């Protein structure tokens, strides 16, 4: 069974909770990522996703809106050796599309619903002639 460590993204975009959401959104677009991990004093304290940014825009975001005001605090995490099936169950039941992946208490990656779709399709898509 596939494990998270083999399918997660390891190039992480991290931000401080005091960063303005407008600036973080620009960084997300530039890096083409759907979520950023929020760290405070070296530890993960939240996750800010494209969905959070969209809600902030709908509510009337301005330059004073900070990540801490819009992030999901204390996000669910996944162990690097957990299966992708376990990750899918967490995402479906939790209603989210990104999971920070940890190993020995340290964040080492992010697993997205897109990553899980690649796992599902890996064996079913023809590889050429």
Domain-embedded: residue 94: yes
Domain-embedded: residue 58: yes
Domain-embedded: residue 129: no
Give the residue among 16, 22, 19 at the shortest CA–CA distance from 46. Answer: 16
pLDDT at residue 120, rounded to an integer: 84
- pLDDT above 80: residue 20: yes
Domain-embedded: residue 128: no
pLDDT at residue 69, rounded to an integer: 96
Instruction: For residues 7-20, give the mean pLDDT.
Output: 96
Domain-embedded: residue 30: yes
Band of pLDDT at residue 129, cut at 50, 70 and 90: low
Domain of 52 in residue numbering reads as 4-121
Domain-embedded: residue 9: yes
Per-residue pLDDT of 34-58, as tens digits, reads: 999 999 999 999 999 999 999 999 9
Band of pLDDT at residue 122, cut at 50, 70 and 90: confident
Tally the domains of the chain.
1
- pLDDT above 90: residue 126: no
pLDDT at residue 65, rounded to an integer: 95
Domain-embedded: residue 78: yes
Residues 6+ apart with CB under 8 A from 116: 7, 84, 87, 88, 91
CA separation, residue 105 to residues 76, 80, 95, 101, 115 (Å): 13, 10, 24, 9, 22
Give the CATH number, domain containing residue 114.
Answer: 3.10.580.10
Give the residue among 118, 83, 117, 89 at the shortest CA–CA distance from 101. Answer: 83
Domain-embedded: residue 116: yes
């Amino acid at each position: 069974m596939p494990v998270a460590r083999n399918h997660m993204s390891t190039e992480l975009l991290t931000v401080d909770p005091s960063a303005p959401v407008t600036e973080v959104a620009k960084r997300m677009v530039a890096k083409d990522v759907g979520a950023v991990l929020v760290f405070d004093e070296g530890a993960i304290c939240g996750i800010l996703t494209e969905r959070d940014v969209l809600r902030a825009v709908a509510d009337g975001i301005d330059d004073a809106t900070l990540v801490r005001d819009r992030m999901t605090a204390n996000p669910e995490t996944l162990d690097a050796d957990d299966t992708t099936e376990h990750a899918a169950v967490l995402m479906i039941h939790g209603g989210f599309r990104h999971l920070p992946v940890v190993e020995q208490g340290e964040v080492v990656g992010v697993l997205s619903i897109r990553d899980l779709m690649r796992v599902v399709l890996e064996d079913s898509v023809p590889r050429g002639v």
